[in-house]
A and B are shown apart, each in its own frame.
Chain A
Amino acid sequence: MKRIALFIAAVVLSAAAFAVEPGERLADANQEARAREVSKALRCVVCQNETIDDSHAELAKDMRLLVRERIKAGDSNEQVLSYMVQRYGDFVLLKPRMTGETLVLWFGPLIVLVLGGFIVARRLRKAQPAAAAPAALSADEARALSELTKNESAKKDSAP
Chain B
Amino acid sequence: MLIELGHFALALALLVALVQGTMPLLGAARGNPAWMAMAEPAAIVQSLLCAFAFAALTHAYIVSDFSVIGVAQNSHTAKPLLYKISGVWGNHEGSMVLWITVLSVFGAAVALFGANLPRTLKARTLAVQGLIGAGFITFILFTSNPFIRLNPAPAQGNGLNPLLQDPGLAFHPPMLYLGYVGFSVAFSFAVAALLEGRVDSAWARWVRPWTLAAWVFLTLGIGLGSWWAYYELGWGGWWFWDPVENASFIPWLTGTALLHSAIVVERREALKSWTILLAIITFSLSLLGTFLVRSGILTSVHAFAADPARGVFVLALLAVAIGGSFTLYAFRAPAVDGGGVFSPISREGGLLINNLLLTTAATTVLLGTLYPLIADALELGKLSVGAPYFNAVFVPLMAPLVILTGIGPLLAWKRGDLAGALQRLKAAAGLAALALIATLALNGVDLINIAAAGGMAIAVWLFAASVTEWLSRVRGQDGLSWQRIVNLPRSAYGMTCAHLGMAVLVAGVTGATAWKEERIESLKPGEHIELAGYRVTFNTARDVRGPNYAALQGEYTVTRDGAAVATMRPEKRNFSQPVQQTTEAAIHTTGISDLYVVIGDMDGAEGAFVTRVYHEPFVPFLWYGVLLMGLGGLVSLSDRRHRIGAARRVSAPTHALPAE
Contact = CB atoms under 8 A, between A and B. Distances in A.
Interface of A: 3, 16-23, 25, 40-41, 43, 47-51, 54, 89-96, 101-102, 104-106, 108-109, 112-113, 116-117, 120, 123-125, 127-128, 130-131, 133-141, 151-160
Per CB-CB distance, the 7 closest pairs between chain A and chain B, nearest first, are A94-B386, A95-B388, A127-B342, A158-B492, A109-B364, A158-B491, A48-B299
A91 B383 contact: yes
B656 A138 contact: yes
Contacts of B299: 48-49
A120 B353 contact: yes
B352 A123 contact: yes
A47 B498 CA distance: 37
B328 interface: no
20 contacts: A16-B601, A18-B612, A20-B520, A40-B388, A48-B299, A49-B240, A49-B299, A51-B386, A96-B371, A108-B363, A108-B364, A109-B364, A112-B359, A124-B342, A124-B352, A131-B415, A135-B660, A153-B483, A155-B473, A159-B263
A113 to B, nearest CB: 5
Contact of A90 (B349, B381, B388): B381
A94 B382 contact: no
Interface size class of chain B, counting residues whose CB lies under 8 Å from the partner chain: 35 or more
A43 B492 CA distance: 45
A49 B491 contact: no
A46 B158 CA distance: 24
Interface string B633-660: 1001001010000000010000111111
Contacts of B414: 131, 134-135
Interface in B401-439: 409, 412-415
A77 B658 CA distance: 63
Nearest to A151: B487
Contacts of B498: 160
B342 A18 contact: no
A114 to B, nearest CB: 9
Contacts of A155: 472-473
Contacts of A124: 342-344, 349, 352
A140 B656 contact: yes
A37 to B, nearest CB: 10
B484 interface: yes
Interface string B436-465: 000000000000000000000000000000
Contact of A109 (B397, B472, B491): B397
Contacts of A138: 655-658
B494 interface: yes
B322 to A, nearest CB: 19
Contact of A131 (B342, B495, B610, B636): B342
Nearest to A40: B388
Given A17-B601, A131-B343, A136-B659, 10 more contacts: A22-B521, A40-B388, A54-B235, A90-B381, A101-B380, A105-B389, A108-B367, A120-B353, A137-B658, A153-B487
B112 interface: no
Nearest to A54: B235
B610 A93 contact: no
Interface of B: 212, 235, 237, 240, 242-243, 259-260, 263, 267, 299-301, 306, 340-344, 346-347, 349, 352-353, 356-357, 359-360, 363-364, 367-368, 371, 375, 380-389, 392-393, 397, 409, 412-415, 472-473, 476, 481, 483-484, 487-489, 491-492, 494-495, 498, 520-522, 600-601, 603, 610, 612, 632-633, 636, 639, 641, 650, 655-660
Contacts of B472: 155
A140 B263 CA distance: 17
B397 A113 contact: yes
Contact of B385 (A50, A54, A105): A105
B488 A160 contact: no
Contacts of A96: 371, 383-385, 389
Contacts of A141: 658
A126 B211 CA distance: 30
Contact of B347 (A49, A89, A113, A157): A157
A141 B619 CA distance: 46
A92 to B, nearest CB: 7
Contacts of A117: 356
A20 B392 CA distance: 25
Contacts of A139: 656
A128 B392 CA distance: 36
B382 A91 contact: yes
A116 to B, nearest CB: 5
Contacts of A91: 382-384
Given A153-B487, A159-B409, A159-B491, A50 B301 contact: yes
Contacts of A105: 367-368, 371, 385, 389
A22 B357 CA distance: 44
Contact of A89 (B212, B381, B392, B495): B381
Nearest to A100: B380
Contact of A160 (B301, B341, B612, B636): B636
B359 A160 contact: no
Contact of B601 (A18, A20, A50): A18
Contacts of B347: 157, 159
Nearest to B604: A23
B202 to A, nearest CB: 10
Contact of A127 (B340, B491, B633): B340
A49 to B, nearest CB: 5
Given A49-B242, A90-B381, A160 B494 contact: yes
Contacts of B235: 19, 54
A160 B211 CA distance: 11
A153 B484 contact: yes
Contacts of A18: 600-601, 610, 612
B498 to A, nearest CB: 6
Contacts of B383: 89-91, 93, 96, 101-102
A19 B234 CA distance: 10
B267 A47 contact: no
Contact of A152 (B267, B360, B363, B487): B487
